[in-house]
Amino acid sequence: MITVLTWLWRNPACRTQFKAEHVNVWADMVRRNLRMRHRIACVTSTPEGIDPSIDIIMPPGDFEKITPQWGPSKPNCFRRLSMFRRDAADIFGERFVCMDLDCVVGGPLDPLFDRSEDLVLFKGTQRERPYNGSMMLIRAGCRPRVFEDFDQHGADVSGELFVGSDQAWLAYSLGRKEKVWSERDGVYWYGSVHYRVRGRKTNPRLLFFPGKVKPWTIAPIRIDPFVTANYLIAQKEAA
């Protein structure tokens, strides 16, 4: 069985405030598009408002005080590096997928998750960024150096070379050799040329929203038919 999980924490200084309702919508979208045996979980210390069908995983508390290079208004996701602990199976499960909440699921997820590799990541949004932290498929215990070698110095060094918090460290620590999902797999990010040219015509499996624009802000105003059809329907069903 695979665990499909997301993270929810509070950061008042961040430009985006994630809520329990976003967790519920995300979980509903995943359920409707995944057939393989799975469980859905949220890593959070604030479970209030989250649907009881979603398993709650208490966050390990690693690296919460480490600060990234790119300022307090942008995400600080270093705590997610706990997923690379040697004992990750005891916390998250033997095999798991981590997904960001700011996404829209529009097609079957099984071809994305039915992979044999120890690690698969979402391709970076720019050529100089090998990975984006929006989605990761992890076999527990793989690449333990990602967790064990990290500290504030690592955050500073990787932040000078790459954009992001945890994704900057992943690029620095892993290099460019890991397997990735991309638009070839039906995984896009909102605002990319690939999505504007091809994605809107093909209905992606997944659309991620790194940046200021989020699916819950554009779905109600109907400027993107794919987002409105998939995110809004899930929200109504979860209500």
The enclosing domain of 149 has a CATH number of 3.90.550.10
Q: Which residues on adjacent β-strands are paired with residue 138?
A: 96, 119
Q: Tens digit of pLDDT for each residue in 18-41?
A: 999 999 999 999 999 999 999 999
Question: Within a 10 A sphere around the Cβ of 237, how many other Cβ atoms?
Answer: 13
Within a domain: 224: no
Give the strand pairing for 103-105 and 38-43.
unpaired
Domain that holds residue 176: 2-182
Q: Does residue 165 form part of some domain?
A: yes
pLDDT score of 232: 62
Do 155 and 69 contact (CB within 8 A), yes or no?
Answer: yes
Q: What angle do CA 121, 123, 127 make, to 5 degrees?
A: 145
Q: Output phi, psi for 61, to 5 deg.
A: 90, 10
Does residue 81 lie in a domain region?
yes
Query: Is residue 108 a part of any domain in this protein?
Result: yes
Residue 209's nearest CA partner among 197, 185, 227 is 227
Residue 32 lies in a domain: yes
Extract the residue ranges of the chain whose pLDDT is less than 70: 13, 232-239
How many structural domains are present in the chain? 1
Residue 198 lies in a domain: no
Note whether residue 168 is domain-resident. Answer: yes
Mean model confidence pLDDT for the chain: 92
Give the N- to C-terminal CA distance of the chain in Å, as an integer: 27
Does any domain span residue 159? yes
Q: What per-residue confidence (pLDDT) applies to 48?
A: 97
Give me Rg for the CA atoms of the chain: 17
**Per-residue pLDDT tens for 136-173?**
999 999 999 999 999 999 999 999 999 999 999 999 99
